[in-house]
Amino acid sequence: MPENNNSLPPDYFNEFYSHRSDPWNFESSPYELSKYKATLAALPRAEYQNVFEIGCSIGVLTQMLAPKCKKLLAVEPADVPLEKAKERLKSKPNVSFQKMFVPQDFPEDQFDLILLSEVGYFLSWEDLKKLADLMTNHLQPGGQLLLVHWTPVVPEFPLTGDQVHNYFMDLSLQKQHLKHLLHQRKEKFRLDLFEKM
């Protein structure tokens, strides 16, 4: 199981991206491509009015998501990937970017879709619970929350993908404002879609 009990700080990501502009191979990995396709296919609506993507990195998924969004806010705590994402999406006026480190930073808007992809396991339990409250409070009634995470254990990450998803499953089972709509499990990632009741 993971050995780190604290959320990974922005400096971790700045350092990580300082050596390579695409350290996780978002642009070329077959794993990433299959995950992106599954992510988009899991969204039941043709269009969303106001979308919040947490942890956009270099904007590969953001670019794929943008056509389904009337308005899309994508955030990232590290400077290098954020600038690359801005450059990638510069011709998309419906997409805006901000430097944010959740849950310490969070927008004031209400959203009909929040996407948390490959981010939750970077957080401590305390920060994940804070983020869950913020996301739920900033979802419109009927708004959807899509979680997608790598499931193999990474010792330096505070949580696993399964721990992140199971926390939200527990909230749903306890009728804590979330209804579970969809579950998919592939070889190395897990996807769960929830809707605010």
Nearest to 27 by CA among 90, 85, 94: 85
DSSP helix/strand/coil, 45: coil
pLDDT for res 196: 97
DSSP assignment string, 87-134: HHTTT-TTEEEEE--TTTS--S--EEEEEEES-GGGS-HHHHHHHHHH
Tens digits of per-residue pLDDT, 11-70?
998 888 887 777 777 888 899 999 999 999 999 999 999 999 999 999 999 999 999 999
pLDDT for res 27: 85
Q: What is the mean pLDDT of residues 69-91?
A: 96
Q: For each of the domains in the chain, give its residue range(s) and CATH number, in order of start.
A: 10-196 (3.40.50.150)
pLDDT for res 2: 58
Q: In angstroms, rounded to a whole number, what is the distance separating the alpha carbons of residues 53 and 49?
A: 13
pLDDT band at 3 (very low <50, low <70, confident <90, very high): low
Query: Tokens 């969070």 label which residue?
Result: 106
Tens digits of per-residue pLDDT, 94-133?
999 999 999 999 999 999 999 999 999 999 999 999 999 9
Q: In angstroms, rounded to a whole number, what is the distance separating the alpha carbons of residues 15 and 170?
A: 34
Q: Give the largest Cα separation in the chain, rounded.
A: 44
The four Cα atoms 64, 131, 194, 189 give a dihedral, to 10 degrees, of: 60
Q: Is the pLDDT of residue 1 over 70?
A: no
**The whole model's pTM is what?**
0.95
pLDDT for res 4: 66
